[in-house]
Structures are given as structure tokens and as C-alpha cells.
Chains A and B, each alone.
Chain A
Amino acid sequence: NAGVTQTPKFQVLKTGQSMTLQCAQDMNHNSMYWYRQDPGMGLRLIYYSASEGTTDKGEVPNGYNVSRLNKREFSLRLESAAPSQTSVYFCASSVQWGGGAGEQFFGPGTRLTVL
């Protein structure tokens, strides 16, 4: 089992460029999440997908879009990157949806720099 995988691991973009971060899990989890982590601020939820076919906004969704491609895959798209989106992005999954879901399993992260 690979768990949660993310690609790419590192990315440098210029302001205004677009890109898609890919995430896949092989644990047959229903729920998937995208977080960003910035120094001193903890992880903040961008979008989540409670189950296949549904997506919802989290705490900081502006500037992002997501696609739950199937049960395994959940992608995050930056349409027009801005320097404020420089961050470390983590994808996570859990067995069931919600704050009461218990353990979330995280991918290794994508370090994104926007110049």
C-alpha cells in the first residue's frame, strides 16, 4: 500500500500561471481533503470531498478549484497562481467524512513557490 500519494513534490510557478496538484489514495477511503500549511498558522482546509461525486469549500477556497475524479483521486487546481499561494499543500484522506472521522492520512506534500 502506498497510502496517499501526491505529485509533484516541488513546483515553482510564475504569477498568473496555472497548475494542477494530483492526489491519490489506495486505502478505499470515502473522504479526501486538501490543506495548505503556512508558518505559524497550522493546516487550513481548502476543499474537501465527503464522498465520491461531492466537493465542498473549506476555510480558504478562494483561488482554487477541485475535482474528485473517482474514489481514489482528488485534484487541486490553481487557475492563476499568486504569490500568496506559496505554501506547502497536503492531501489527506479518511475512512468517513467529517471532523469525527478520526484519523486522517496525509500525503507527503507539495511545496509550491509562486514568484
Chain B
Amino acid sequence: GAGVSQSPSNKVTEKGKDVELRCDPISGHTALYWYRQSLGQGLEFLIYFQGNSAPDKSGLPSDRFSAERTGGSVSTLTIQRTQQEDSAVYLCASSLRLAGELTRYYNEQFFGPGTRLTVL
């Protein structure tokens, strides 16, 4: 597709329920990132996938959060037993890894429109 897509665009759930958020990165982009943007806050890094390497999960706030990336493309972020503090906009981004001298361009990320999660 032309850009990064995310679904659903909005999700309202009840406290304690599990939710799944989906991200379709730009075709050919090998890196995929998840961020969280809470009201009045900046972007909080959650998790990063690069090719077949082990994901960098250092930003996941608790073990209720997990993510997977199937076939090096689509990614799903799962939040189990949602809490009200999980309410936020969840953003996905992808980037293209370039070789050699161009590697410093690697981190130009392209963002999706986000999923707004509301936990009641």
C-alpha cells in the first residue's frame, strides 16, 4: 500500500478485556515500531521489530503487553486485561533499512494514523 495502515482506527473496550491492534507496514520495510501517545504526553516507545532478529521489547510497560510480527510484515499488538491507564493512541511506524553508508537514513520512520484505544 501507499502508507502504513492501522486498524481499527478507534477501539472502546471494558476494563479487563483483551484487545488486539493491527499494523500493516509499507511494503518492503523491514523495521516496524510500536509507540504509545497518551493525552498530554510524548511518544513512548513500546517495541521494535527488525527482520528476523529478536524484537526489542524494552519499552513494553508490563507483561500484559505483547506483540508479534508474522512473515516479516503485519504486526499485532495485544493488550491483555486492559486497564484505564492503557487508554491512549497507539502508533505504528515502519522504516526501510539501507546498506553501507546509507545506514544513517535507516531511522526515517513512516507513521500510520494510529488506533485510539479507550478503556472504560
Question: Do A and B come from the same complex?
Answer: no
